Structure 1
C-alpha cells in the first residue's frame, strides 16, 4: 500500500482540461494541434480550457511531434538610435480583407548594436553586440511560443558583428572580437550546445582571425562567415577550416539566406541572386523584374517554410517609412537557371522615419 501511495504522489495525474466534450483530452489535443496557426486567435475564443492549452508547452510539443509546425517570421527594426523594435508577421495571404501585418512583441531587455542571431526550434538567440560601444558576451533568448525573453549562457568573450550559424542543434559563433589577447585568440570561435548550456572554444588558425563579419550562412553543415577581407567556412563534421572561393567572396555582400541549398542575397544592382555551391556560380533570380520595385532598400531575407521571404523599406512620405514583404516561391529548371514567383507581396508596417531593418528570422511554431 505504501509503495502504491508513493507512486501516486510521485506521478500525479494531469488535471483534466475537458478540451472537447465527449473526447479524451489526448485525442482532443491530437486534433487541436493540427489546426493551422493562423486560426489560433479564433480557436482561443472557443473555451477557457482551449485558451489555456494554446499557451501550454504541451500544445507546442504535440505540434512538433505531429510535424504540424509552421514557419513564422520575426523581424527586428532599429528606431531612434539604439532602440530595437521586435515584430512577428501575422500572415493571411488567402484573405484580402484581412491583410498580412507585423504585430509587436516584447522588446529585448538589453538592446545592443551588431548582435548575431541564431534559431533553434522555437528559440531565437541574440548573441553579443556592443552596449555603450563595449562588445558584450551576453546572450538573450526569445521563446517565440510565448514571446518571452530569458538570459542565455554567457560567451567566453564579448563580440559585435560576429558570424553565427546552427548545425545539428548547436550554435557556432566566430569573429566580432579583437584577437589581441590569449583568451580572445583561443576563443575567436565558440560553439554552444543548448542541452549542456555552456560555450566551448573551437580551435581556429591565426590567419583567419578577422574581426568584423558582415554576413554568415549555413550550407551542407558548413558555417560560412564573410569578413571585410575574404571569407572562411568551418566544416562542423570534419572540424576543419576552409577558404571561400573568389566567386562567392566577390558576389556576397550583406544579408543572405539559404533555400534548397542555394544561397540568396541582394546585390547593389538591384537584383536578387543565388549562388549554387555545387556549380560555384552566381545566377540572377529571374521572373521578378516586373513584380518587385527596382531597388529594395534595406533588403533582408529568410527561408520561411521553403520559400524566400524578402523584407525591405520604402519612403512613406512625411515622417514615416513603409516596411514591405514579399514571399517568393523559388525553383531551378533543368539548365540550372533560378526562377522566382511571387506568392504574395504587400506593405506590412509603417514606422517613424529613420528606422531601419536589422534582421529577420524564421521560427517553427
Structure 2
C-alpha cells in the first residue's frame, strides 16, 4: 500500500489535537503495537503507514527495543520480538540466502538504532556439511527499524566466519575467524563506522585465532579464540581503541570456558549457560564463575520425562536475560528412536531479583529450529 502523508488527510487523527501533535503521540508508542493501532481507524492506519510518521520516529530515535532472531529453518526469515508489546513480528526477507541454503556462522550487532548482520557463510542443504563446501561472505546487511527494510552497507575487506564482533561506542569491531583461504585462522582486525559507512583496518592481533568469541568491557575489545600451532591452544587478547594496541592476557582460564551461542553480556557481568542447564555469572573484575540457578527443563505435552534444550539463543537487554527457542530430543517408545522437537518458546528473567524466576513471553509464530543468531537492539536515548 502506498504511503499517505499526514497533510493529505482531511480529518483529524485524534479529535481536538493538531495532526502534528497527534502524530508525535502515536510515534512514541512501540512498533509492536502497530497492528493494534492500525485497527483503531482508517485515519490511524494511514498515519502510521505514512512517510511523516517514519521520519518522525527516526528523527527522534524512537526505535524501541527489539530482539532479532534467525533460525535455521528459513535463512532469510528474521523474527523480531518487541518486549514492550510482548509480540513477535516477521521481518521482510533478508537479501542473499535462499531456501536451499543455510546461512550461519555470521555475527550481528546493533548500533545507532540499526541492526547489522556481518559476514558468515552459506551451506547448501542438499550436500553433506564440510569445511570445503562453505561459501563465505564479507557482506554487511543492515535492517532499519524505521523504514522496516534491509539494505547493503560497505563490505568488510576479508571474508570471515566464526569471528569476534562487538559494538563499542558507535563503531563495530571485528577480528579473527577464518575463511577457505585461511583455515589456520585470521589475525586481521577492522572497525566499522556506520555514520561514514566505512571500514578501517586495525593493527593485527599478535596471532591468528579461529572460533572466536568477543565481548566489550571498559571500552575495550575482548577476543577469545583458538590458536593453531601444531596443536590447538586457547588464547585471550584485548584491543584498546585509544592506544590502538593489542595485549595478550595470561590468566584467562575462566574466559576460555565460553562459547558464543550460550554466553551473553549485561553491563559488567558475563552470563553463561552450561550444558546441564546451570546459569552462571562472572564479573569481569573477579574472573570467577558463580552459579545462579538452573534453566527450567522442557516439558512436552504427552511426554512424561523432563528434557533439556540445546541450540537455543541467549541474549540480554536492560535488566533481563532471554533464552530463545532451540531444540530438544524426545524419545519415541513406539520405535525406540529419538525425535528432534523444535521449540517456539522464549523465557526471560530479571537478573536484579534473586532467586531468578523464569517467565514465558509470547511464543514465536513459527518453529525456527536451531538459533543461528540473535541480538538486541536497544533504543538510544
TM bucket normalised to smaller: 0.7 to 0.9
Q: Structure 2 matches for 1:35-184, cutoff 5 A?
A: 35-55=29-49, 59=53, 62=56, 69-79=63-73, 83-89=75-81, 102-111=88-97, 112-131=103-122, 133-177=134-178
Per the alignment, do residues 316 and 107 of structure 1 end up closer, same or farther by CA in structure 2, a change over 3 Å counting? farther
Q: Structure 2 matches for 1:194-273, cutoff 5 A?
A: 194-205=194-205, 207-213=206-212, 215-228=213-226, 229-244=234-249, 245-255=251-261, 256-273=263-280
CA RMSD, Structure 1 to Structure 2 (Å) = 3.5
The CA distance in 1 between the partners of 2:70 and 2:19, in whole Å, is 38
Q: Structure 2 matches for 1:312-351, cutoff 5 A?
A: 312-315=325-328, 320-331=341-352, 339-345=355-361, 347-349=363-365, 351=367
Answer yes or no: is the 8 Å Cα contact 2:272–2:280 preserved in 1: yes
The CA distance in 1 between the partners of 2:297 and 2:155, in whole Å, is 47
The residue that corresponds to 1:5 in the other structure is none
Answer yes or no: is the 8 Å Cα contact 2:268–2:284 preserved in 1: yes
In the alignment, is residue 362 of structure 1 matched against residue 376 of structure 2?
A: yes
Q: How big is each residue's C-alpha offset from its partner over 1:319-362, in whole Å with a ceiling of 9 and x where there is no partner? A: 75223211110028xxxxx752224356435537xx31111111
Partner residue of 1:27 out of 21, 40, 44: 21
The CA distance in 2 between the partners of 1:236 and 1:56, in whole Å, is 41
Unpaired runs of at least 5, structure 2 = 98-102, 123-132, 227-233, 300-305, 331-338
Mean Cα displacement is larger for which, 191-200 or 25-34? 25-34
- 1:223 deviation in Å? 2.2
Mean Cα displacement is larger for which, 56-65 or 269-278? 56-65
Q: How big is each residue's C-alpha offset from its partner over 1:296-320, in whole Å with a ceiling of 9 and x where there is no partner? A: 3123211234311111424486775
Number of equivalenced pairs:
333
Report the secondary structure of 1:26's partner residue. helix
Answer yes or no: is the 8 Å Cα contact 2:164–2:175 preserved in 1: yes
Q: How big is each residue's C-alpha offset from its partner over 1:233-283, in whole Å with a ceiling of 9 and x where there is no partner? A: 222233232334323333212322212321112122321111201222111
Q: How big is each residue's C-alpha offset from its partner over 1:144-202, in whole Å with a ceiling of 9 and x where there is no partner? A: 33431111111111111111111111111111236979xx97x8111111111111101
The CA distance in 2 between the partners of 1:73 and 1:168, in whole Å, is 20
TM normalised by structure 2 equals 0.74
- 1:47 deviation in Å? 3.7
Mean Cα displacement is larger for which, 248-257 or 152-161? 248-257
The residue that corresponds to 1:298 in the other structure is 311
